[in-house]
Structure 1
């Protein structure tokens, strides 16, 4: 799509328990390809813009690529510009020219000439696409426009592409950047040898020596996985054991809801005979497959087929809600499936209050002959959304000194778009467990942005309000009982902001507890930062092969912080590529966990994710917070009347206070606000 992936390496120096260590890892970054602009635009937009490039596409594309560096060569030398905007076409833009010296002039007697004719006359360059809009290229601090035809413009090489990738693009990047452990180890060692640190004059001056013969050997432990309880077909409980980070569902879910009223809705292109057959097959087989997992279904689902117009979507979902549907299986089939998905979720979650499970028709068609496996995957989400529990782990069994009277509540929090503005706000999501098994969670979402300009927001300003809400949900679900121990996992924090987050957010949590608990004894709080984006990797060597470490591998010595409490935990079993451990940093611990206890607890929480039957890379509560923040992109946070449009050239302010940050809490329909709609 006009972007490419380049392979390089990162290196950084860390102070650890063993002294200064050099961290080197492979890295992959997306760059814009140095293509002719017409070719780039066609690739990026996935269409031939020379035949059709409408105003709406032009405005959207302009916003994406504004401020890219571009260059021209038609004058015989390289001239660099910064892309500012699109204008009219090359055969429409006219400017004055003095025929005496062929230079532009403002003289009264000057003649008007089009960009097309000027290039032909001045540089003997005949344009192939004179109907395409010109690019206004800005040079330095000049405000004077320079209208350049697209076909004479080329993108400057090695410009990092920071715009998000779509689902198919992410898939392509992942496919090309998966590096197996043996290859990664070999590549990193090759980089280290090529860098020749011992010959570096700066390192010599500082008397720094790098031991580059081999990577560090460190001791690690492998934690034991939990036992997961399901419901035996009939009555009683049955244990499923975890092997290599995964397990099978061979019995019923632990608890399920009774489904009295539900249905399927197809939104999309008019179905042909084959599509109708797929839909009818799915309608017939889905209830039977759900019953295998313990669902109690009293009625077969109806099937409704509608167009993808937004009004049809709203009216159909509203009718389903009026008929007291507990669940709508929504099948989407359109070129604009992502847009359809956003419309469905916005109407269902906020305006109507109808629980939905969306299904991509193309995926359904692909899996129709192996529907058992496909339904097993979506059935776990469906059960969680309807308030059921798939499998239960006795979390307190991970702790050697836990009292039977201890009541735990787990929180997860994540913040997206740390650099935010009114046009692109930061989304903060906080989830909290709401049942005695710590399987069900509720979420609260808030957007935050500066009143003016853009700035980096590391903290969650409304954390106290969100925690108050979630504590009350917990009490309502648990017989007016409140937790005496709170474990809070926080994602999305850079190391340089640990102290700021600790000072603000732990105090906010304590303030929320004082309001909710009143005269009751306040809970003990443990606050842990989870970091996924880092460059530390571990390898297991058996004397012949370099392999991934096992699921449950924990490293808490050697390369950890010299004075603070942190540890690496690789909780997942890598199926492809090199496994990436999560780094956990315990910033606050009233509970007084031992290192073994907090590591075992964290590992077991990685097995409680409702969406799958495998141990995931981070604990379920913080993963749910990430899912809720991501799902919030389809929802609205109230009116936008007070938001000011942001100029792309607005600079980030040097400093800001919390008073400069505006917030809006997201409102969902009360019928599902405390359910797991984000799965």
Structure 2
């Protein structure tokens, strides 16, 4: 690996591509970073120039860089256990306002709630620049014999940072060292201080009750705002965006519980509750802060630890005098009146203290940290979806809520925020020319990320020798006449795209979804072989609405057990479907059978410099899930046109982003690439000269880990295969808040978004590193999100125009669509393969629900139960 000071990859100015390829020689560097600058990724070689220029706005606001110094202090709070951020913030406030007000009299400090405190002036902590304080918090009640708890807080200065380094950094004259990162962290903490004291926060977002929607099941959506200080080319800016928070329904705890179970009768919250429902409810309310009343009438906030199995009238405990009381009796005595619902369950708060549900009220503004149920996600997306103009207007309102000019913290640190949106010049790249099979007009020029396949034939259509139609729907919903019509329409749709169906009459079988599905599928295949004298090429499976379990069983059987292509159709959608529907189905069927739908004309194919494209992603368990692993997938092109892909996947340690088995996975895929080119394309030598690797799901803070851990594994895979392609490694980021807005309506697409192919690398790019934002897809609903590309390593000397054109072209070869997609096809496929990990487990076992054993034991169990893909599916795009 080259030294950091060199940037990553070979020296600039070398070869960029062969003849007839977009991979053209590098252009001279323009405003390149200073020679002494070190970068994590590749230094920016130049800016792109291709495409039509349009003016755009970006949801960022220019801010000044404060003069002078930022003083960084380490905070150590002594406690028997790790305290929550909110508690640490209360302690720090008490330290400033009550315990040591003279130390903080001239300033306002930023505190991240953990270990870091920042001040615009030096704090007087004595000759050693450190001091320790005893801090107590006001007790919630005076009716106690116990003294208030004392917390020790130690402050120690660890750094003094001259803000001049930020000016040098954004000008490309300073490396992003620890001091730069700390200064940026400090400013992010500072702009968060005011909102964090007024509103619920999550990361860099905060949420207000000014715009809400009831989500159901005890959850309420709140509109929120995201803010982040970002260094960009020649400026410091604050990125402001809209975000959405999911809150617990405030008010009586009984109402929250009833909303969760979808009922309105409190009498259902008793010991007669089904165990499964009670356990689910207990998980949902664990960790919720509720308000209760002490016997003296004083209100008190407590945290729910768990839900009891029996009601207040059945839960008993021993008093200090040795007498026994039920919870219901105790509260009747202390409150002077009986409970309204004595048989209802209780919640445990504190150390074994039980509170009846009716005596607790949920405090407002509490974020739900658990994953939102699938049936609520559509409503969540609808609430979060805003058209570009609406989003911009909401962001402007957010500036009023943020009120940077009124924040004492922002003023004390010397920040001034311009309330004018950042504007820049974007470019609209020319879409690649697409090539279909022989016939009428095989060449297509996409417009705004879309094209029509009417009268087109697939580039390499497959053949269906015999097929089986399996129906899980009932006769009254999907009768024989409808089944015959769907079969005929399927055949017409396939043939319209060039797919050959040797025998149009399928073997039709109705299967009871409650029966032995695997046995029935086997029998249907056997019947096909018996009748047609050839094994079935394809199973077309009609499933009802809500048939997700059936889908999983079918895919497990077809992809893992049997090795046969399956195409599932929802009964409602395929009944009386139009030809366009069947043409879209044909796109999926063709690649599952080994065909190729469409290729780009010259952009991705270069016979002089064969290139293999790989995409990788990792999927982690849902928030709150324990004991479950992560799944890694890598996908690779195998043909010379980068249109046909194969995949490999692995189980790995939970929530680990780096791909453990990347060497073996890459080696398998590269072997498949060379094998396919030799056997199917008759090309020798078949080794690629370029390897372009797109990595998804990695945050900026993990770039160095990818270079140090994953890049060597890719190189080792090549070495073991005795090949030496020049490697380019690019991270594709989707988890960011940059949005692009056309200034002029004439430059917008029908959805109001910037058109497909909008690329930006000036003004909002990294000060020194090779990155760009590319909005490669046409808008549908809401405001489109561009993908953020960061080039971490490059032995191919690709310039900005080349890298952008290459990435945009790859967004056009996603097989299942006649629209360009938001990220390059290999990355999109890797994401899909990860999401389909559950089909590798036996759908009739409990492994997919486990999560109770030790993590290491559980990982081994998952690996044992994770069944590999059937050998007959390995070279097919089964994941389409």
How high is the TM-score relative to the length of structure 1?
0.85
Alignment of 1:156-555 (within 5 A): 156-212=363-419, 214-233=420-439, 238-250=442-454, 251-267=456-472, 270-272=474-476, 275-299=479-503, 300-309=505-514, 312-322=516-526, 323=529, 324-333=535-544, 336-364=546-574, 368-394=575-601, 396-397=602-603, 404-417=607-620, 423-449=627-653, 456-479=655-678, 481-516=686-721, 518=722, 520=723, 522-542=724-744, 547-555=752-760
Answer yes or no: is the 8 Å Cα contact 2:349–2:355 preserved in 1: no
Higher RCO (C-alpha 8 Å, min separation 6): 2
Taking a change above 3 Å as real, the CA distance of residues 162 and 290 of structure 1, as seen in their structure-2 partners, is farther
Answer yes or no: is the 8 Å Cα contact 2:747–2:754 preserved in 1: no
Residue 579 of structure 1 corresponds to which residue in structure 2?
A: 784
Answer yes or no: is the 8 Å Cα contact 2:310–2:346 preserved in 1: no
Taking a change above 3 Å as real, the CA distance of residues 360 and 72 of structure 1, as seen in their structure-2 partners, is farther
Taking a change above 3 Å as real, the CA distance of residues 540 and 677 of structure 1, as seen in their structure-2 partners, is same
- Which has the higher Rg, Structure 1 or Structure 2? 2
Cα deviation for residue 155 of structure 1 reads 3.5
Answer yes or no: is the 8 Å Cα contact 2:459–2:599 preserved in 1: yes
Answer yes or no: is the 8 Å Cα contact 1:409–1:486 preserved in 2: yes
Residue 308 of structure 2 corresponds to which residue in structure 1?
A: 87
Cα deviation for residue 55 of structure 1 reads 1.9
Answer yes or no: is the 8 Å Cα contact 1:447–1:666 preserved in 2: no
Cα deviation for residue 507 of structure 1 reads 0.6
For residues 169-191 of structure 1, give each alpha carbon's deviation from its aligned partner in whole angstroms, at most 9, with x where no partner exists: 22222222221122222222233
In the alignment, the residues of structure 1 paired with residue 617 and residue 368 of structure 2 have an alpha-carbon distance, to the nearest angstrom, of 24
Cα deviation for residue 543 of structure 1 reads 7.8
Residue 873 of structure 2 corresponds to which residue in structure 1?
A: 672
For residues 204-254 of structure 1, give each alpha carbon's deviation from its aligned partner in whole angstroms, at most 9, with x where no partner exists: 433332222x21221211110011111234xx8711220121000021111
Residue 53 of structure 2 corresponds to which residue in structure 1?
A: none
SS at match of 2:522: helix
Cα deviation for residue 112 of structure 1 reads 5.5
1:28 is the counterpart of 2:227: no
In the alignment, the residues of structure 1 paired with residue 743 and residue 315 of structure 2 have an alpha-carbon distance, to the nearest angstrom, of 69
For residues 536-562 of structure 1, give each alpha carbon's deviation from its aligned partner in whole angstroms, at most 9, with x where no partner exists: 111111289984212101111111111
> Unpaired segments of 5 or more residues in structure 1?
98-103, 451-455, 651-655
Task: Tell me the C-alpha RMSD between the 2 structures.
Answer: 3.2
Taking a change above 3 Å as real, the CA distance of residues 47 and 302 of structure 1, as seen in their structure-2 partners, is farther
Taking a change above 3 Å as real, the CA distance of residues 374 and 644 of structure 1, as seen in their structure-2 partners, is closer
In the alignment, the residues of structure 2 paired with residue 385 and residue 457 of structure 1 have an alpha-carbon distance, to the nearest angstrom, of 31
Residue 622 of structure 1 corresponds to which residue in structure 2?
A: 827
How high is the TM-score relative to the length of structure 2?
0.67
For residues 443-476 of structure 1, give each alpha carbon's deviation from its aligned partner in whole angstroms, at most 9, with x where no partner exists: 11112126xxxxx522111111111111111122
In the alignment, the residues of structure 1 paired with residue 606 and residue 443 of structure 2 have an alpha-carbon distance, to the nearest angstrom, of 23
SS at match of 1:525: strand
In the alignment, the residues of structure 1 paired with residue 525 and residue 299 of structure 2 have an alpha-carbon distance, to the nearest angstrom, of 63
Cα deviation for residue 337 of structure 1 reads 2.0
Cα deviation for residue 374 of structure 1 reads 2.3
SS at match of 1:432: strand
Answer yes or no: is the 8 Å Cα contact 1:468–1:513 preserved in 2: yes
For residues 391-430 of structure 1, give each alpha carbon's deviation from its aligned partner in whole angstroms, at most 9, with x where no partner exists: 1113x436xxx86321111111111228898622111111
> Unpaired segments of 5 or more residues in structure 2?
1-215, 530-534, 680-685
Cα deviation for residue 498 of structure 1 reads 0.7
Taking a change above 3 Å as real, the CA distance of residues 291 and 549 of structure 1, as seen in their structure-2 partners, is same
1:69 is the counterpart of 2:276: no
In the alignment, the residues of structure 1 paired with residue 379 and residue 690 of structure 2 have an alpha-carbon distance, to the nearest angstrom, of 44
1:10 is the counterpart of 2:226: yes
For residues 616-643 of structure 1, give each alpha carbon's deviation from its aligned partner in whole angstroms, at most 9, with x where no partner exists: 11111101011110111343299979x9
Taking a change above 3 Å as real, the CA distance of residues 467 and 666 of structure 1, as seen in their structure-2 partners, is farther
Taking a change above 3 Å as real, the CA distance of residues 411 and 544 of structure 1, as seen in their structure-2 partners, is closer
SS at match of 1:464: helix
In the alignment, the residues of structure 2 paired with residue 492 and residue 595 of structure 1 have an alpha-carbon distance, to the nearest angstrom, of 22
Taking a change above 3 Å as real, the CA distance of residues 351 and 151 of structure 1, as seen in their structure-2 partners, is farther
SS at match of 2:712: helix
Cα deviation for residue 77 of structure 1 reads 4.8
In the alignment, the residues of structure 2 paired with residue 661 and residue 45 of structure 1 have an alpha-carbon distance, to the nearest angstrom, of 33
In the alignment, the residues of structure 2 paired with residue 661 and residue 460 of structure 1 have an alpha-carbon distance, to the nearest angstrom, of 19
Cα deviation for residue 69 of structure 1 reads 3.3
Taking a change above 3 Å as real, the CA distance of residues 565 and 660 of structure 1, as seen in their structure-2 partners, is farther
Cα deviation for residue 18 of structure 1 reads 1.9
Answer yes or no: is the 8 Å Cα contact 2:603–2:809 preserved in 1: no
Taking a change above 3 Å as real, the CA distance of residues 629 and 544 of structure 1, as seen in their structure-2 partners, is closer
Cα deviation for residue 9 of structure 1 reads 0.9
Answer yes or no: is the 8 Å Cα contact 2:733–2:787 preserved in 1: yes
In the alignment, the residues of structure 2 paired with residue 501 and residue 59 of structure 1 have an alpha-carbon distance, to the nearest angstrom, of 40
SS at match of 2:642: coil
Answer yes or no: is the 8 Å Cα contact 1:178–1:576 preserved in 2: yes
SS at match of 1:208: coil
In the alignment, the residues of structure 1 paired with residue 552 and residue 736 of structure 2 have an alpha-carbon distance, to the nearest angstrom, of 31
Taking a change above 3 Å as real, the CA distance of residues 662 and 304 of structure 1, as seen in their structure-2 partners, is closer
Aligned residues: 633
Residue 29 of structure 2 corresponds to which residue in structure 1?
A: none
SS at match of 2:762: coil
Cα deviation for residue 40 of structure 1 reads 3.3
Alignment of 1:106-121 (within 5 A): 107=322, 110-111=323-324, 113=326, 115-116=327-328, 119=331
In the alignment, the residues of structure 2 paired with residue 220 and residue 506 of structure 1 have an alpha-carbon distance, to the nearest angstrom, of 32
Residue 235 of structure 2 corresponds to which residue in structure 1?
A: 19
For residues 136-170 of structure 1, give each alpha carbon's deviation from its aligned partner in whole angstroms, at most 9, with x where no partner exists: 4232xx3x2x3444454444332222433345422
Residue 79 of structure 2 corresponds to which residue in structure 1?
A: none
Query: Which shows bigger deviation, 582-591 or 17-26?
Result: 17-26
SS at match of 1:192: helix
